Amino acid sequence: MRPKILVTRKISDDAEIILKKEFEVTLNLEDKPYTYDELIQLVNQYDGIISSSFDKLDKNFFDNLNGRLKVIGHVGVGYDNINIQSAKEKNIKVSNTPNVLNDAVAEITMLLILASSRRIGEAYNLVKTNTWKNRKPDITKLMVGNEVTGKTLGIIGMGRIGQIVADRAKAFKMKIIYHNRNKLPEALEKDATYFSDLKSMLPNCDYISLHTPATPDTINIINEETLKLFPKHSVFVNTSRGSTVDDDALIEVLQNKKIYGAGLDVFNNEPNLDKRYLELDNCFVLPHIGSATHETRLAMSMLAINNLRRFFSNKPLISEVV
Ligand code: 8YV
């Protein structure tokens, strides 16, 4: 009998076609979210699931399983929605989708850096609301922002995505400095400068980009204390997770122009982000689209499927979360 797989949300069309050929599969073609309770009920009829970051797979979820579920192919590199410890205790393997989204996320990181510095949100609104014609063409004021070329980018979390962001930023002649738990080997570090202490790095940054996973260590690492060390002209961008930011603290420095701006793709409590962000001209916001390209979402879907294929052929997973 073919293994039974539940796909909790819509994944890429081509991936769904492949999945249907190999497994007995329940797709979510209408992309209608299951409630937490529905999901628990449903999952007990399946050997494997393909999950998304919208699914809350917490301790209680795992405690309510009947023993059938054996593997979770998660479509996402971040898996903070899954209680990995509980999965382990129930002997359920979990995989994620590292690497395949690095380029897409690095693209959005550069976009946020450019958009926040060059006031793209304000400039775009000026044209879209047809109010450009009402503005005096003042060459020193009208949508004049900060130039990115040649500035210093501080990367917090120099993992796979951080390293690709560093490469992309070099095309803008940016100087790269970074903070990470460990110093990278020279071959990966290239010519970036390591700071073992985050607080010593921050005053040296024109731009700060965050690329850490959401862990207990990274909750609110952008807080009142660390924000005090950001230079007044600096820009903060975040494509990792909203939980890394203390919203009150960031909003306060933006409101009072203690930093130049921010570019945010991720928020606490998505999609119900703190509304104060929307009132700020110096904050460029996106709806968590870091990995949202056709190419990357297909690659993420396929990596989840390939992990399930390996599991059901008794082979080690490609990207098991351990
Ligand atoms: C996606 C992400 O939005 O990979 C991640 O961790 O946050 C994004 O790529 C999400 O995972 C889609 O399920």
pLDDT at 1: 87
76 Cβ below 6 A of ligand 1 = yes
> For the segment 269-285, what is each residue's pLDDT rounded down to a tens digit?
999 999 999 999 999 99
Whether the bond between 216 and the residue before it is cis, its omega within 30 degrees of 0, is no
Residue 61 makes CB contacts below 8 A (sequence gap 6+) with 36, 39, 40, 43, 83, 86
What is the whole-number distance in angstroms between the Cα of residue 76 and the centre of ligand 1?
4
- All structural domains of the chain: 4-100+294-312 (3.40.50.720), 102-285 (3.40.50.720)
> For the segment 306-318, what is each residue's pLDDT rounded down to a tens digit?
999 999 999 999 9
pLDDT at 173: 98
Mutate to test the pocket of ligand 1, among 77, 79, 239, 243 (most ligand atoms within 8 A of CB): 77
Q: Which residues in the chain come in under a pLDDT of 50?
A: none
What is the whole-number distance in angstroms between the Cα of residue 290 and the centre of ligand 1?
8
pLDDT at 223: 98
pLDDT at 192: 98
Q: Give the residues across from 74 on adjacent strands.
A: 51
What does the DSSP 8-state code read for residue 32? P
pLDDT at 137: 86
Q: Give the closest residue (by CA) to ligand 1 atom 10.
A: 76
> For the segment 130-171, what is each residue's pLDDT rounded down to a tens digit?
999 999 889 999 999 999 999 999 999 999 999 999 999 999
